[in-house]
Structure 1
Amino acid sequence: MKVNDVVTYAVEGSIAVITVNSPPVNALSNAVRQGVASAVETAIGDPAVGAMVLICEGRTFFAGADITEFGKPPVEPTLRNLQLVVENATKPVIAAIHGTALGGGLELALVAHYRIAVPSAKCGLPEVNLGLLPGAGGTQRLPRIVGVEKALDLMTAGSPVSAKAAKEMGLIDELAIEGQLRADAIALAQRVLDEGRPLLKVRDRTEKLDEARGKPEIFADFRKANARKFRGFNAPEAIIRCVEASLDLPFDEGMTFERQLFNELQADSQSAAQRHVFFAERQAAKVDSLPADTPILPIAKVGVIGAGTMGGGIAMNFANAGIPVTLVETNEDALFRGLRIIRGNYETTAKKGKMKPEDVDTRMGLLTGSIAMEDLADCDLIIEAVFEQIDVKREVFGKLDRIAKPGAILATNTSYLDIDDIAAATSRPDSVVGLHFFSPANVMKLLEVVRTKDTKPEIIATAMKLAKTIGKIGVLVGNGYGFVGNRILAARNTQADQLILEGATPWAVDKVLYDFGFAMGHFQMRDLVGLDVGWNPKTTSSANVREILNEMGRHGQKTKGGFYDYDENRKQTPSPVAMQVIEDFAAKQGMTRRDISDAEIQDRILFAMVNEGARILDEGIASRASDIDIVWITGYGWPKYRGGPMFWADLQGLPTVLDRLKALEAAHGAAFTPSPLIERLVAQRKGFKDA
């Protein structure tokens, strides 16, 4: 029997089976909620029914609330009211889980009287990733069923756990046989009836809470252990407070407290920012200009030229995905060193328990070393990761053009250089694309896919699909100096360098950025990366502070001195040596240093970045403002809870941004001349989200 368009109702023996089919992920939309509530009430009123099974068709159990309803007026039944219908049912309800039970989906399963899942299922409460907390009783019920400490871990991490782990912690009552969930769930429901089992309500359980009572150190220790991870985010602390309330308050009062904090988080800009990032990541994977039927080229074997830090990290990405890699170096010493470092990285990962020891040999077995570029002749994709110099890269591509098979994709990992110029060294520029990985390439999630004026659509489609295959967030960008990420970084560099000459200290600049939410400051990052990266002493001499520090042998953390001094544990302290270099260079330039406020530092750096982002968008180097946000969040540490530079600008209001840029232009020159795009958007009363 159809209850509505997404819910059906059937009776098998004495068991009512309520089935939801609302593709693609059975989100708890209004239609789903109405249908389930009606079906439960039908079963309660049917004297032939003794128990109910709630199950979903398709690829998953309820994968969460319908996020499109956030911020809109509630429509009955709300999720909480649907939960009351299920929880207060006078007949047992068994939740049958496959795929993922996430967010509101798991919260609905928690009000069922029993839960069964297939071994491949996963359960989780990921709301923290959207700047929220579980708002349908998750913070009150989860501690009652798995204990306070596990509940804190699950909700603040936001990552799902396997059905096996869920059963071990008491979240799941039984595991079904894969492929026969419906039959096993009906069998469980029948056993519940035959054995006269009680209607177990999670809300009434207290034994797990009792274990934590009188132990406030649980919460103090948890906050301390996660202080760095949670810094700046509001949602984790709100979750902790709600779990504390589960101990201190009666259930209904705890639910009221949870709702209060949920509403506060939902109204806050952090949640709006994190929801923006959620959708922007998914949007970045879509290339609007590509026809849906654009072919994806097979990538069965990959070549990487250069076994250094970047090349080795790139090779690891493909080995991790099970794709064979030929790694080419200029000599055997460099090759063996690169392979040894890769093995060491894998062994370290295995020691940490993040991969099986036997997987080390499996992945190394996918890597073949060579000192002959000719060994790349059978590769479907070849990526160069050689020295960042245009003549070197052109020479490499000229050789590849003669060696690579027809149809092979030729990719460069350049960070700044003109890829059209590199592609011109070949007879097949339409097969050339930029794949800009970020260091360390085996860790960082961002991959800028750089299209040239000639890159074929199937090359672009294949590169974007490949990004997902190797676990990256691919963002398609246009060819131009620094592409998106490094071009905006260059604008930040310019202002940071100017600020320390005018009177700010490097540590003052860094503190402003750290307080804004970056994991580290600008000059700390430069010391970490190495001041000598990209420095060529043969072509420049004492042209700026960085070059002088390099000439002094101060290359950053690796030499125990850069803008900061470092001890043997790489603990940093402000460097009087660097400060003297800055002051002497400023004097040589005829500059009079002055006090500079934190507000000026923040304005000059952030508005310069936003302005450069607007130019990038206006020039078509980025397709969407949200793509720029994803680049800076995943590749450069922009705080996720601030949504990216373009989202942050929209939050300030573009009229405000325009006014600040004009004031900064008057005080500090043409670097702040407003982008024409900002002026047009303000005139049209639009934001970057509309561009």
Structure 2
Amino acid sequence: MNNQVKFEVEGNVAILTIQNPPVNALGAAVRQGLFDGIEKADGMSSVNAVLIRAAGRTFPAGADVREFGKPRAEPILSQVVGRIEACSKPVVAAVHGNALGGGFEIALGAHYRMASRDAKFGLPEVLLGVLPGAGGTQRVPRLTGAAAALDLMLVGKPIGALQASDLGLVDALVDGDVAKAGFAFAQDLAEKGAGPRRTCDRRDGFSDAESYMAAIAARRLAVAKSPLEAPARIVDCVEAAMLLPFEAGIAKERAAFDDCEGSEGAQALRHAFFAERRAAKVPELEGANLREVNTIGVVGAGTMGTGIAVACLDAGFPVTLVERDEEGLLRGVEKIDAIYQRSLDKGRIDVDTRAARMEALTGTTDMDELAQVDLVIEAVFEEISVKEGVFAQLDAVMKPGAILATNTSYLDINALAATISRPQDVVGYHFFSPANIMKLLEIVVADRTDPDVVATGFALAKRLRKVPVRAGVADGFIGNRILAAYRQAADFMLEDGATPAKIDAAMRDFGFPIGPYQVLDMAGLDISWARRKRLADSRDPAARYVAIGDKLCERGWFGQKAGRGYYIYEDGSRTGVEDPEVLAIIEEERAAKGISPRRFSAREIQHRCLNAMANEGARLLEEAVALRPSDIDVVMFYGYGFPRWRGGPMMAADLRGLLEVENELRSYQIEEPAFWAPSPLFDELVKNGQHFEDLNEG
């Protein structure tokens, strides 16, 4: 064999042990080792049964990610699974840990499956825009029927061993050593002279043809509007499992897999998969010594502060929540209690968990209570003078080496850090609201932030179950800089002839859950208005400025919370309707500037918004605010609803072609030269035949 699959014989049982840590990924060497091992065992007269097991913490948890989107060396996984199933001697799979994707398909190729009670089984390929490609669509429905098989494949969420057993996917559950139990079972089969029991010959799941086909019809209808090709192809393949001979079904699955793997949606989802993992690789991790964080303080008991406190409590940290007065503190504690009550009501936590988390919360109005905590997250009002006052107090009470993090969306962290005696301990944590739910955390590194503080932030993010992305200091950091460009492009079109509803509809059609003006109304127009007023003195007087949002704010129309913004929200509704008065204000602004309105197609709206985002992303790369293009994409799909299956603005630009994007940017320059000027990075990449993807190291 090879060093990734160990072959040995004990008595009359051949044992194939997969040993490719950390997750026993099914790379070429593992596939070859399994194929050769089955061949060898099948040809040995002294062997009467075969056991497949895995060393380490898990059964194979899927394919080797390094092979994604690339030609695979033979034997490909479907050939390996087919060879296992074709073995003339009974094959037993002993599963522990996570049997996902190809790992599950390996187990399905075996004739018997034993699993530890804490094992998990899943076919998550749809999350990468593809489908099971080694017989999963053909073998699972033979055991479970169509409904359960489609749930596994269309949702992509693993199931526990008990549920797998109930569905007929597992033959026996084991409390102790599953490999030992699997060997005993294989030995018993060998002594009895048992033959193979091939999944491809099973018909259990086809017993109720009417229900089977009803499940197919229902799921086909459910996935009809999916932007991805894979869900519909999964339904087709599961249907084929019942209607076609097994080998024809396998061929259909393979063709569908190949088609989906090359699709733009699958490319984007693979990009997103790698981008998230790449974002965790930052230069400050090299040789870093993590600072100890066992206790956390949060200053500010408003919406952000309470959300951050809950995120920290959920991660097991004792939290000290500080507010300036008893009234504000009480409101904050009540908010936290209400969050846990909702979680309890929905069955997400039990009574003991709720009690433990509230017990770990200490509320106070005394800043001195933070003297011994390891990390303080400041989450007060987004005003530099207010934050400077809090920083001065924290500087006076916090112990040496404690980390001082500011939760800010826009402010200059270098300037804030310069106001205290320990700038090396200052870092930005840009949480997204609601902070206890949203997964993104921008970790903003100031000029004097100690590398150990940065590395500790990334370790903390993992404990908080956040996706961390490193950002440099800039107004809005990564996400809000891109968002500002997106909104600016939309505002230009609004003034030039589009309506809020038209722009929002176009961006929803692209894949965003809601459009930019719906987002503004939901977040509150006063937030972006405050930023515009803060930047007013530094704005180029020659630059085009769209004042429509200001006009709405001057009337107190701050969005949903005020009952009207870009839309009207009647009787507390969260769904807005077009407001004739807003459309009249837009018309007045156009008339004042002598603008003759024109029509914008949905495609042009999408391209202008996307081009603005990609161009601003390129500028962030030039300024070293973002380390790599894929970090920008991670920020946008975790923090701003950019459709993951589009891969983020930088990947979307790659898919469209950078030359096309650059040419479109140039064509807009006559309208607003500074804003639409293409970043020089476009020209550099186009000349060298490169894409943004080429700038993603690691």
TM surpasses 0.5? yes
Structure 1 residues 638-657: aligned runs within 5 Å? 638-657=642-661
Q: Matches of 1:307 and 1:471 in 2, distance apart?
A: 22
Structure 1 residue 192 displacement after superposition: 3.1
Amino acid at match of 1:586: R
Identify the range of structure 1 (376-385 vs 192-201) with the bigger mean alpha-carbon deviation: 192-201
Amino acid at match of 2:106: L
Residue 580 of structure 2 corresponds to: 576
Q: 1:567 to 1:149 in 2, by over 3 A?
A: farther
- The answer to whether the aligner puts 1:99 opposite 2:103 as a matched pair is no
- The answer to whether the aligner puts 1:253 opposite 2:257 as a matched pair is no
Structure 1 residue 247 displacement after superposition: 3.1
Identify the range of structure 1 (306-315 vs 19-28) with the bigger mean alpha-carbon deviation: 19-28
Pick aligned residue for 1:300 from 294, 297, 305: 294
Deviations 1:31-52 (A, max 9, x none): 1111112211222222222211
Residue 506 of structure 2 aligns to a residue whose secondary structure is helix
Residue 685 of structure 1 corresponds to: 689
Structure 1 residue 560 displacement after superposition: 2.9
Residue 136 of structure 1 aligns to a residue whose secondary structure is coil
Residue 414 of structure 1 aligns to a residue whose secondary structure is coil
Residue 407 of structure 1 aligns to a residue whose secondary structure is coil
Residue 208 of structure 1 corresponds to: 205
- Contact 1:148/1:212 (8 A) holds in 2: no
Structure 1 residue 550 displacement after superposition: 2.8
Residue 629 of structure 1 corresponds to: 633
Residue 288 of structure 1 corresponds to: 283
Pick aligned residue for 1:433 from 424, 427, 430: 427
- Contact 2:492/2:546 (8 A) holds in 1: no
Residue 262 of structure 2 corresponds to: 267
Structure 1 residue 289 displacement after superposition: 4.8
TM-score when scaled to structure 2?
Answer: 0.94
Residue 184 of structure 1 corresponds to: 181
Amino acid at match of 1:199: P
Residue 565 of structure 1 corresponds to: 568
Q: Matches of 1:587 and 1:550 in 2, distance apart?
A: 20
Amino acid at match of 2:215: I
Residue 22 of structure 1 aligns to a residue whose secondary structure is coil
Residue 662 of structure 2 corresponds to: 658
Q: Matches of 1:357 and 1:172 in 2, distance apart?
A: 34
Q: 1:312 to 1:174 in 2, by over 3 A?
A: same
Amino acid at match of 1:295: N
Pick aligned residue for 2:162 from 164, 167, 170: 164
Deviations 1:166-203 (A, max 9, x none): 2232222112234x222111112123345565522222
- Contact 2:325/2:365 (8 A) holds in 1: yes
Pick aligned residue for 2:443 from 436, 449, 454: 449
Identify the range of structure 1 (63-72 vs 420-429) with the bigger mean alpha-carbon deviation: 63-72
Residue 14 of structure 2 aligns to a residue whose secondary structure is strand
Structure 1 residue 327 displacement after superposition: 0.9
Deviations 1:338-389 (A, max 9, x none): 2222222222223323333332112222211111111111111100111111
Q: Matches of 2:598 and 2:75 in 1, distance apart?
A: 62
Q: Matches of 1:364 and 1:288 in 2, distance apart?
A: 37
Q: 1:74 to 1:426 in 2, by over 3 A?
A: closer
Amino acid at match of 1:39: G
Residue 148 of structure 1 corresponds to: 146
Q: Matches of 1:346 and 1:429 in 2, distance apart?
A: 36
Amino acid at match of 2:265: Q
Q: Matches of 1:398 and 1:554 in 2, distance apart?
A: 36
- Contact 1:306/1:386 (8 A) holds in 2: yes
Residue 542 of structure 2 corresponds to: none
Deviations 1:184-225 (A, max 9, x none): 111121233455655222222222233353564434444566
Amino acid at match of 2:302: G
Q: Matches of 1:109 and 1:301 in 2, distance apart?
A: 44
Q: Provide the alpha-carbon RMSD of the alignment.
A: 2.2
Amino acid at match of 1:443: I
Identify the range of structure 1 (123-132 vs 336-345) with the bigger mean alpha-carbon deviation: 336-345
Q: Identity of counterpart residues, as a percentage?
A: 46
Pick aligned residue for 1:129 from 127, 130, 133: 127
Structure 1 residue 250 displacement after superposition: 2.9
Q: Matches of 1:349 and 1:169 in 2, distance apart?
A: 30
Amino acid at match of 1:267: G
Structure 1 residues 340-355: aligned runs within 5 Å? 340-355=334-349
Q: Matches of 2:72 and 2:412 in 1, distance apart?
A: 52
Pick aligned residue for 2:611 from 607, 614, 638: 607
Identify the range of structure 1 (73-82 vs 528-537) with the bigger mean alpha-carbon deviation: 528-537
Q: Matches of 1:23 and 1:536 in 2, distance apart?
A: 52
- The answer to whether the aligner puts 1:48 opposite 2:36 as a matched pair is no
Identify the range of structure 1 (565-574 vs 28-37) with the bigger mean alpha-carbon deviation: 565-574
Residue 598 of structure 2 corresponds to: 594
Structure 1 residue 529 displacement after superposition: 1.3
Pick aligned residue for 1:199 from 181, 184, 196: 196
Deviations 1:86-106 (A, max 9, x none): 101111111111221111111
Amino acid at match of 1:63: A
Residue 244 of structure 1 aligns to a residue whose secondary structure is helix
Identify the range of structure 1 (401-410 vs 671-680) with the bigger mean alpha-carbon deviation: 671-680
Identify the range of structure 1 (319-328 vs 35-44) with the bigger mean alpha-carbon deviation: 35-44
Identify the range of structure 1 (417-426 vs 194-203) with the bigger mean alpha-carbon deviation: 194-203
Q: Matches of 2:94 and 2:69 in 1, distance apart?
A: 30
- Contact 2:68/2:270 (8 A) holds in 1: no
Q: Matches of 1:333 and 1:667 in 2, distance apart?
A: 51
Amino acid at match of 1:88: A
Residue 464 of structure 1 corresponds to: 458
Pick aligned residue for 2:471 from 468, 471, 477: 477
How many pairs are equivalent? Answer: 685
Identify the range of structure 1 (67-76 vs 317-326) with the bigger mean alpha-carbon deviation: 67-76
Structure 1 residue 236 displacement after superposition: 2.1
Q: 1:543 to 1:19 in 2, by over 3 A?
A: closer
Q: Matches of 2:126 and 2:202 in 1, distance apart?
A: 25
Q: Matches of 1:259 and 1:450 in 2, distance apart?
A: 45
Q: Matches of 1:66 and 1:334 in 2, distance apart?
A: 52
Residue 532 of structure 1 aligns to a residue whose secondary structure is helix
Amino acid at match of 1:659: N
Amino acid at match of 1:264: D
Residue 86 of structure 2 corresponds to: 88
Q: Matches of 1:539 and 1:603 in 2, distance apart?
A: 29
Deviations 1:107-153 (A, max 9, x none): 11101011112223221111111111011111111122233222222
Pick aligned residue for 1:553 from 551, 556, 559: 556
Q: Matches of 2:416 and 2:578 in 1, distance apart?
A: 41
Identify the range of structure 1 (409-418 vs 511-520) with the bigger mean alpha-carbon deviation: 511-520
- Contact 1:126/1:158 (8 A) holds in 2: yes
Structure 1 residue 283 displacement after superposition: 0.7
Deviations 1:452-493 (A, max 9, x none): 000001000000111111101100110111000000111111
Residue 57 of structure 1 corresponds to: 55
Q: Matches of 1:165 and 1:339 in 2, distance apart?
A: 39
TM-score when scaled to structure 1?
Answer: 0.95
- Contact 1:176/1:185 (8 A) holds in 2: no
Q: Matches of 2:309 and 2:250 in 1, distance apart?
A: 50
Pick aligned residue for 2:503 from 503, 509, 528: 509
Q: 1:94 to 1:216 in 2, by over 3 A?
A: closer
Deviations 1:1-37 (A, max 9, x none): xx21212122222222111212222111221111112
- Contact 1:99/1:121 (8 A) holds in 2: yes
Structure 1 residue 535 displacement after superposition: 4.2
Structure 1 unaligned residues grouped into runs of 5+: none
